[in-house]
Amino acid sequence: MIRLNKMTDYAVVMLSHMAGDNDRRVTAAQMALDSGVPSPSVSKLLKQLSKADILTSHRGAGGGYSLDRAAGDISVAEIITALEGPIALTACIDGTDTSCGSLPLCSMSGHWNQVNRAIQGALEGVSLADMIPRPFAFEPASDELKLKITTGVQQTDIKTETRITRAP
């Protein structure tokens, strides 16, 4: 199973919690109370999100965090990337990796990239605004829940016509 770790899961919950009004400032402590996420993890996450310009931090007394932009302008892809790095399946994705030495002819990189791009696209297609839960209290976070997919019900149409700007 391809999985998102718990921290990212937390982050999405916390962010959608903030997504109502973007001027509201929430302190880490308050967020921990609201969401049930352990407070050190909340801090860690909010810091990271702030560093990634998804949140804006306000220091000092009366400070806290607020959304940097409207919820509709923040994609799930962006959140994941901020917390887990570039979206990719770990595979031979990178020419610079020589540890694939046991597989000298491995030239699958291109194809994995194709898949990776498609996944990235899927995640870019959903914004934080799309994820806002109805104004119910949700249970405190604990374990992950695995969403299962019924295959064949409705398949997404993916056209790949890719544009990758290579990183330095």
Restricting to residues 45-84, which ones interact with DNA according to CB under 7 A?
Answer: 46-47, 50-51, 57-65
Q: What is the DSSP letter of 162?
A: -
Q: Does the protein bind a second copy through residue 3 (CB under 8 A)?
A: yes
Q: Does the protein bind a second copy through residue 70 (CB under 8 A)?
A: no
Q: Is-contact 89 116, C-beta < 8 A? A: yes
Which C-beta is closer to a second copy: that of 43 or that of 109? 109
Q: Does the protein bind DNA through residue 86 (CB under 7 A)?
A: no
Q: Could you tell me the smallest distance in angstroms from the CB atom of residue 16 to DNA?
A: 18
Q: Does the protein bind a second copy through residue 150 (CB under 8 A)?
A: yes
Which C-beta is closer to a second copy: that of 62 or that of 96? 96
Q: How far is CA 162 from CA 3, 94, 95, 116, in A?
A: 24, 17, 19, 11
Q: Is-contact 8 79, C-beta < 8 A? A: yes
Tell me the Ramachandran region of residue 67: left when phi exceeds 0, alpha when psi lies from -120 to 50, beta otherwise: beta
Q: Could you tell me the smallest distance in angstroms from the CB atom of residue 159 to DNA?
A: 28
Closest CA to 14 of 26, 4, 3, 2: 26
Q: Which residues have a Cβ under 8 Å from the Cβ of 30 and sit 6 or more positions away?
A: 64
* Footprint (CB under 8 A) of a second copy, residues 90-129: 90-97, 99-103, 105-126
Q: Does the protein bind a second copy through residue 147 (CB under 8 A)?
A: yes
21 interface partner picked from a second copy, DNA, none, CB below 5 to 8 A per type: none
22 interface partner picked from DNA, a second copy, none, CB below 5 to 8 A per type: none
Q: Does the protein bind a second copy through residue 66 (CB under 8 A)?
A: no
Q: Does the protein bind DNA through residue 43 (CB under 7 A)?
A: yes
Q: How far apart are CA 78 and CA 144, in angstroms?
A: 21
